[in-house]
Every structure is written in C-alpha cells, then in structure tokens.
Structure 1
Amino acid sequence: MVKVTVWNEFLHEKQHDEVKKVYPDGIHQALAKGIAAGDIEVATATLEEPEHGLTEERLNETDVLIWWGHMAHDQVDDAIVERVQQRVLNGMGLIVLHSGHFSKIFKKLMGTGCDLKWREAGEKERLWVVNPAHPIAAGLPEYITLENEEMYGEHFDIPAPDELIFVSWFEGGEVFRSGCTFSRGQGKIFYFRPGHETYPTYYNPQVLQVIQNGIRWAAPSHASAPVRGNHQPLEPISNQS
C-alpha cells in the first residue's frame, strides 16, 4: 500500500466562484477521489491547517506527497519547506503539479528559478508521450488531448531532467516539457504540467492515470540508506601502526 498525501492551498476554491464551480470541494478532494485505488491510500492537507497539515508525523507516514499551489507560494513556512525537503532526500516521493513549479519546495529542490512562459486562453493542449516505455506512461495512448488548458511555454528554467516523458504542444504554437523526473538524495520527483484551477483537468481519466502511475513510480524503494561521514577502514592500512 502506497500512502499518499495530496497538498493543496485550497484558496482559489474559497475566493473565486469560477474555480468553486469546477472544484466545489477543492482540488485536493477531486485528486484524492480520482487517484484512490486498491494499492493507493490517500489523505489530504491544506495551507491553512496547523503546520499546513504537514506535521512531522504526517510526513513520516507519507510515501508520496502531491503538491498543488499557485497564489500563496510565499505563505508556505520555510520550516515546513525544510521538513519536506528532508523527507524527499530521505526517500519520500514528490509529485509537483502545474503551478507548483513556482512553489518554494520545487525551486529549492531544483536549485533554479523554475520560470516559464504562460498564457490563459483556454486553448487546446496535446501532451505527447515521448518516452512510452517509462512506467509513468503505462496504459496511455500516444498523446492526451485537453480541449481547454492554460499554456506553459519554453524556456522552462529547470535543470536537465533525468527523464522526459511528456512534451506538450499548444494551440497557440508553443511547446513545453510537461512531464519530467528528477532524483534528489533517496527521493524521486515527478513534475506534471496540466491542472489550471479553472478547467476540469483533474477529472480527466488519462490525467489521473498519469498521476497514479507517477505515485507508483515515486514510491520509496526502501533500499538501504547510504552511509556517510567519518568511516573506519574495512582493511588494515599498511602505513598505520
């Protein structure tokens, strides 16, 4: 069983009627319902909960953390960001969605500005699967079409991904690296682009399939932890008595 925590600001849904109509219970609840499966157990956390819902106890019980943020990146406490980073370095998986590219935790783990082009015009997006053998692409057709989405365009200021799985084409002509994986310490990170708050993207079965696949891929491997620091020799050293 993979234990997942879906984190969401849960502010747009409270402040903007247009978003509330699409996600009346919040993006986090739509995701939680959409990705739950026999091998995936889902909990949720939001910005305005104590410690943003990401207490040490909650994070220690989380195998994969999903992050959606947009309008309140600066309101996330730096101490919580440090806590999440340490859990990723120790093996927790992290899936960053859409505008989470500008979150403190993603920028901290990437070490770059993570900026990009954008345009909100409700245009068609076609996500091409460019690495069909990857586990995150399992069960998908060669592309996913979203009739209405926000455009993200290159250049995306991230380090070169370990693996590129999806490339988006937009009706206005731009392209974007929309599915990228990274490793940091013992943890796996998956950035997945779609999911603007005014469109019903997180009800799309293929989008949910990608996120489910990402959860299974990013789940901790439970490999032996690396040993670091001062270390005694395994064999006798000839020049020491």
Structure 2
Amino acid sequence: MSKTIRVTVWNEFRHEKKDEDVKSIYPEGIHMTIANHLSKEGFEVGTATLDEPDHGLTDEVLNHTDVLIWWGHLAHHEVQDQIVEKVQQRVLDGMGLIVLHSAHYSKIFRKLMGTTCSLKWREAGENERLWVVQPGHPITEGIGEYIDIEKEEMYGEFFDIPQPDELIFVSWFKGGEVFRSGCTYTRGRGKIFYFRPGHETYPTYHHPQILKVIANAARWAAPSRGPVPRYANVQPLEKLR
C-alpha cells in the first residue's frame, strides 16, 4: 500500500486581508484554495501562514511534511532566516518543494538556486499560454498540449535561475514575451518544482488544469525511499592488503 503524501501549503496570507478584490477570489486565502483541492485528490494536507508563530513551520510541521508548497509576494523579507535554514535542510534531506509564481523571489528559492531569480514582469491581464515541452513527464499527466489562462501577470525572460534539470512548461504571453514557466531541480535528496502562474488578482488557482499540475507535482516531488547517504570517514568494503 502506498503511503499517503503529506503536503503543507504555505502562504503569506497578506493580499487576501488587505485587498477586497483578492479576498473576493480567495476568501479563505490562496493556501486554502490549493489545500482544499489537494485534499480531494487524496493528500493529507495542512496549511501554514506568515503571521503564525514560526510562520507555521515548526519543527513538528516540517518533520511531518513530505512536500511543501510555497506562495509569497509582499513580505519575503519578513520570513525569518532561521526558518529558511530549516526548510533548506529539510529539502536537502528529501522533502519536496513546490514554488509558485512570485515566490521566485522568496528567500528559500533564492537560497536553493544561488542566483537573484530576477525577471521581467508586467501586470496587464493578458492571455498566457503554457506549452508542455516534456509531454512524458509525470507533472504533465492528464494535461493537453498547452494550458490557456485568460488573464495573468506577465513574466518574461531573462529569468536569472540556474539551468533547470528539466524544463516542463514554456509560456507565451499576448504581449510577445516567453518564459520558462515550469522548471525542476534536485538539491540534495529533495526535488524542487517552480511553477509560474498564480498572480493574486486573477482566479488562476481555480483553473482545473493549474490545480492538476500542482497535484501532479506534489506526487512527483514526494520523497523517494532510496538509500540515505552517509557522510563520514568509513572503513573499506574490501581488504586493502
């Protein structure tokens, strides 16, 4: 019997409190919209937000999280460095991490990437078309050749990230830009997926195919049961003399 994947959805939960338009789209918060869908998909789901003690990411929560989903925008700088260190260590130890939209600027993503993670942007409510460029990948299971989003914020190249292990989606925007919108990485034993869509003023996380990608990514990023590496001085397996 396969183990139920434990997911924690982390969100700043600031826009939904400050902006009535955002609140009308996500009355319970972006985190709850994603969490409610994942619960229906059979995941064991918890949530955490910025203003909770330890940002909701206590040792107990992190130690019982297989995949952490992260959405942030306004308050990257408010995330405590000690919490970022703990999340990084959990990823290195095997926890999966899914980084959504403007969380490309989050402390944890920049720390794991080692680059600025900067990009071009424009908020004009334009059409985004995400093209699948890895049709055989588990993250694209059940997705067509592309995903159309009627209105989204534009992100454009150059995106200052390391070369992805795998490029899963490439976006085209009505204004003419393109963007590497779905990128996978491995850090230590942990799998990372960056997924671009999700500006707070649009109902992107109500889009069935976007939610399907996130669910697929959570299954893909869940820890494997492979061997745990040992880092120490060791005795030889064979006789040296």
1:212 maps to what in 2? 215
For structure 1, the 5+ residue unaligned runs are none
Kept in 1, the 8 Å contact 2:41–2:215? The answer is no
Q: CA deviation at 1:38?
A: 4.8
Q: Structure 1 length normalisation: TM-score? A: 0.97
Rounded to whole Å, the distance in 2 between the matches of 1:175 and 1:34 is 29
Q: Does 1:162 align with 2:173?
A: no
From 60, 74, 88, the equivalent of 1:71 is: 74
Contact 1:34–1:203 under 8 Å retained in 2: no
- 1:57-206 → structure 2 map (5 Å cutoff): 57-206=60-209
8 Å Cα contact 1:123/1:150 also seen in 2:
yes
Q: Are 1:228 and 2:231 matched, yes or no?
A: yes
Give SS of 1:132's match: coil
Q: Is the 8 A contact 1:35 1:212 kept in 2?
A: yes
Partner SS for 1:36 = helix
1:36 aligned onto 2:26 = no
Letter in 2 for 1:155: F
Would you say the 8 A contact 1:10–1:26 is kept in 2?
A: yes
Q: In 2, distance between residues paired with 1:59 and 1:203? A: 27
Task: Pick closer, same or farther for the CA change 1:38–1:211 going to 2, 3 Å.
Answer: closer
Q: Which amino acid aligns with 1:170?
A: F
Q: Tell me which of 17, 20, 23 is aligned to 1:20.
A: 23
Amino acid at match of 1:133: G
Q: Percent identity?
A: 69
The match for 1:54 is: 57
Q: Distance in 1 between matches of 2:185 and 2:170?
A: 16
**Pairing partner for 2:14 from 8, 11, 16:** 11
Aligned length: 238
Spell out, residue by residue over 1:180-206, the C-alpha distance to the aligned partner (whole angstroms, 9 max, x if none).
000000000000000000000000000
TM-score norm. by structure 2 comes to 0.97
Give yes or no for contact 1:68–1:96 (8 Å, CA) kept in 2.
Answer: yes
SS in 1 for 2:225: coil
Secondary structure in 1 aligned to 2:40? coil
Displacement of 1:236 in angstroms is 2.5
Cα deviation 1:193-227 (Å, max 9, x = unaligned)? 00000000000000000000000000000211011
The answer on whether the counterparts of 1:96 and 1:191 sit within 8 Å (CA) in structure 2 is yes
Aligned to 1:183, the other structure's residue is in SS state strand
Residue type at the aligned position of 2:33:
A
Q: Residue type of the partner of 1:68?
A: W
Residue 230 of structure 1 deviates from its aligned partner by 1.1
Q: Distance in 1 between matches of 2:58 and 2:7?
A: 14
